[in-house]
Structure formats: C-alpha cells, structure tokens
Structure 1
Amino acid sequence: MTIAARSILFVPGDRAERFEKARSSGADMVVIDLEDAVLPDRKAAARNTVHDALAGLTEPRFVVRVNSLDTAWHADDVRAFAGLPGVAGLMLPKAERASDFVAMHEAAAGKPLHALVETVSAILNLADLVTAPGLARLSFGTVDFQADAGIDGDGAEIDYVRTQIVLHSRNAGLAAPVDGVSTDLTDDAALARDTDHARRFGFAGKLCVHPRQVGIVNAAFLPSDADIDWATRVIAAIDGAFGAVAVDGKLIDKPVVDRARRLLETHAAFQVG
C-alpha cells in the first residue's frame, strides 16, 4: 500500500529563504509555487530563484507548481524543472483534460504529476482527466472552483463534487485525492473540522497555505486510538482462524480486514506512538 501525503504545504517561489523552513514544518509534501503566489512581473525571476535553490539537490525534496498551460510561462517552467533530481514532481494548476499532461509527462521522465482540479470543465471531464499519463493524484482547488461555478460555500455546497473526485480517483487507481485550503488561519477548530470532513468523504490529504496548519491536518488524517485498537483486534482474530470470525459481535469479511490493515499501515507509516 502506498501511503499518500496528508499535508501539502505551499511556499511562494520567490521566497527561497522559506523553502527549507517549509520542509521543517512537518509537512508531508512541500510545493514551491510559481503560479498564484508570484506576481506576473516576477514570474521569470521566481523561476530562476527556484532553479538555483534546487539545482544542487541530489534527491527529490520538493514538488513545483508550474504555471497553467494557457500562460506564456508554462513551457519554460516545465523545461526548467522536469529534469532536476531535487524535484519530486510537478503540479499543474487549472488541469482539465488528459491531453494537458502529455508534454509534461514526456519532459518529466517518470516524475509524478499532480493535477489541481479548479474549474467546472475539469469536473465534467474527470473521466478523461484521470487517464492522464504520469498522473499520480488529484487536488481540489476549492476556492477557484467556487468562483468558476458561482457557488458560495465550500462545505455541503460542493460535497457532490468532492464525491466525484474521490470516485474517479479510486476508479483510475490514483492515490486518494487532496482537499482544498481552509483560508481562515486563526481558527484551528474549524481547520480540524474541515479536515475531518474531507477525510470522511474519502480524501487523504489537504492543501495548506501556512505552516501552522500542518500539525492539525496531519493529526486529522491519522487513525484514532479506537481505530487502532479495533484494527489490531481484527487482525489478531483472523490469524489462523477458520470459518466465521466476529469482533465486537460483528462478522469479519474481506473488506473489513482490508480496512483494518490500511489503518495499521497508515499508523506505522507515519511512526505514530
């Protein structure tokens, strides 16, 4: 089982002094952002800044969010970073169809590609989008999607869309998707609720825009103590068992065992306890 990153932290591409600080935040993945976080007149300079910072790395440490396909900066972004050993993957904003990734996939030579789903067209094209070459995971750009769709609210108002992203990801064999940002940086309780909401809908990660969000997001995607106790008892009950087995008065079948194993593998992967 591949354990997907829980916290995906963005850091502006023109702030090189923050790159390693972002890595020390505890985020499972750090995305250096050349798109929304960088003003148009600073795009080229930011690209050079990021390239200089990553060129000396010998192992993959950062994902780079390049500019969208319809911009003058996209092709140069991909050329600058696709071959660097320090780049762990590329993220494409405003991704809408599988064909958007063909050139990136060829340039990236096996690096994982990430799609930010941010438009109505992307949602309507999900069946095609998830077949993109090299695609590893979808992230839901909730803020941009709401603006494009004319929807006011990121809770129940877009839960149908969340379900579509989860189902299409699962059907295509992609990692469980990443939910969008919580923009209020002062309300930790709301962030925890938002993250738990995403988890219950089948997401396995959340986009973060500040290091202080990382710990809350990471914790929310971990199995609870009660989950681990239950999973441990399930696995113990089936060890060497023949015939029907029950835990807590409920029969155990393969889907239940699979869920128990996933919980224990996630717990172990993040070295909890």
Structure 2
Amino acid sequence: MSDPVQQGCSFLFVPATQPERLPKALASGADMVIADWEDAVAPADKERARAALLAAVAALAHAQRARLLVRINSEGSPWFEADLQALAQLSALGLAGAVVPKAESAATLQTVAQAAGSRAALVPLVESVAGLAAADALAAAPQVARLAFGHLDFQVDAGMACAQDEQELLPVRMALVLASRRANLAAPIDGVTVDTRNPERMASDAARARRMGFGGKLCIHPAQVPVLHAAFDPDEAAVAHAQRVQQALQQAGGGVCVLDGRMVDAPVLAQAQHTLQRHARAQQRLAVTD
C-alpha cells in the first residue's frame, strides 16, 4: 500500500512488553500493527515497554517499520513526556506514527506531532464526550491521518450501558464519519470487538462499520483480521458488477443509462469506483503478505 495508515483496514494491537509478537503480527495479514504502551502495559512495566519496543523496531526491516504505529499514553498521565522522547527515537527509525489516546484537543496533537517529527502520522482516539465535541478540531489538526473510535472508554465516560448491538452509539459513530469527511480525511477506524472467540460477532461489527462509512477497525487478535477483511473487501460478484457499471457508462458516453433494469448515473458510478478501489487495496495487501 502506498500509505498504509490512510488506506489500511485492519489495525492489530500488540502489547509492547511482548516484542516477540511483532513479526508474527506483521505477518498476520493485518494492514497496520499498533504496539501498545497504554492499556496493555501495567504502570510498573512502562519503562521496560519503551525499551523493548525500541530494540524490536531496530531489528525490523524498513518496510515493516512503515506498517507499525505505537499507542502512547495520554497527555496528563505520568508517562506522557517519556513516551514522547521514545516516540522521537522510533520516528527516526521509520515508524509510521502514533495513536493518541483520549484525544480531546488539537493542542495535544500538536505536542505529539512536534515530538514525532513532520513525517509521522497521527491517529487520535476519540474516547470521551469531550473528544467527540472536539472531533472537527482533531480531524483538522496537522499530521492527522485518521480518526479512531474508542467506544469502550466512551461508554464509561458518557455513563452509557449499551446493549450488545450498540445501537446507542450509532449517532457517535456517524459523527466521526462526518467529521472525517468534512476534514477530507480517510474514513475513520472503528473500535475493537472484545469477544475474540466469536467470529460471527466480529463479522457483524465489521459489517456495521462498513455500512456506516468507516474505513476499518481495530483488532485485538490475529484471528479477527481475516474476518474483518472479508467484511470490507468486495467479493467477486461486487467487483464484476462495478466493472459492468463502469463499462456501461463509458459506452453511454458518460450519461445516464440502464443496467439490469436499474438506472446508472454519476452516484452509482462513484460507488462502483469506490468498490474497485477497495478491491485494488485488497490485491495490494495480498501482494505484500505473499
């Protein structure tokens, strides 16, 4: 992929205290891997996690480093400043960028960007009501590549108790999709599915994310990656139909035409082109992992 942060669909978390998992995660088929310094690391292990990740990244090939992000600890935590210092070192090695948890202001993102350097991509995690209110500012901040939704923390902050289908969060998810579009960002990344032994739940969550306009999803287990891709990558029938739509409009000279009894016009063509773009990214992914 030319820009895996912007075009990626699957973002797989790995605890930074287990750097031996990084090569396996990168070989899992995931578009991006997120080494985690935050929730997956106990307070007593934060320093060890930084050192372990620096050593592990130094041993990776450059192409692998470009598919790696690190989730730092939030601003205001005791570990934020040390994380920024280590992030600068990782960025110099070619790390793609940082996931910024509990993002609530553009000023925080500017601080992270200054530490990481101008080539680092930022992925703010919207995990609070304040973060949602600042979604437009976060999306418009320099070096932000995507927004991501931390729906579990958001529920806690908002005092919500969502049902299993999470219908209560539909307005929040749509708000992030629209904020991303207003800022001309790549489609946002939906939150994790915590049930790692239930591929049906993962498939359902991924299908909802796709229908709502998300561009991908956070993963916490390698087994979730192919299920996610199956929901987002167009199947052969969808690709064939998109190609027929494109061909029909070309033959009609770019005007309105009828295909299989249905009107085909500019919006239908745009959807078909989007399908073919997603198919091309899926083929690129296969080429990288083969």
TM bin (shorter chain)? over 0.9
Q: Supply the distance in 2 between the matched residues of 1:40 and 1:10 (Cα, whole angstroms).
A: 18
| Cα deviation digits, residues 84-119 of structure 1 (max 9, x gap) | 333111110000121111122223222111011101
Q: Counterpart in 1 of 2:34? A: 31
| Cα deviation digits, residues 49-95 of structure 1 (max 9, x gap) | 10111134434231011111111212221221233333111110000
Say whether residues 1:162 and 2:173 are aligned partners. yes
Q: Secondary structure at the match of 1:130?
A: helix
Q: How does 1:140-159 map to 2 (within 5 A)?
A: 140-153=149-162, 155-159=166-170
Q: Can you give the 5+ residue segments of structure 2 that lack an aligned partner in the other structure?
A: none
TM-score, normalising length: structure 2? 0.89
Say whether residues 1:68 and 2:74 are aligned partners. yes
Say whether residues 1:9 and 2:12 are aligned partners. yes
Q: Which structure 1 residue ranges, 4+ long, deviate > 4 Å from structure 2?
A: none
Conserved? CA contact 1:65–1:91, under 8 Å: yes
Q: Supply the distance in 2 between the matched residues of 1:74 and 1:30 (Cα, whole angstroms).
A: 21
Q: Supply the distance in 1 between the matched residues of 2:77 and 2:240 (Cα, whole angstroms).
A: 51
Q: Counterpart in 2 of 1:86? A: 94
Letter in 2 for 1:215: P
Q: Supply the distance in 1 between the matched residues of 2:265 and 2:121 (Cα, whole angstroms).
A: 34
**1:255 corresponds to which of 241, 263, 267:** 267
Letter in 2 for 1:99: A
Identity %: 43
**How big is the shift at 1:240?**
4.3
> How big is the alpha-carbon RMSD for the aligned residues of Structure 1 and Structure 2?
1.8
Q: Counterpart in 2 of 1:97? A: 105
Q: How does 1:1-273 map to 2 (within 5 A)?
A: 4-57=7-60, 58-59=62-63, 60-82=66-88, 83-107=91-115, 108-153=117-162, 155-242=166-253, 243-271=255-283
**How big is the shift at 1:251?**
2.6
Q: Secondary structure at the match of 2:39?
A: coil
* Greater helix fraction, Structure 1 or Structure 2: 2
| Cα deviation digits, residues 221-270 of structure 1 (max 9, x gap) | 11133321221111111224334322222332222212111111211221
Q: How many residues align?
A: 273
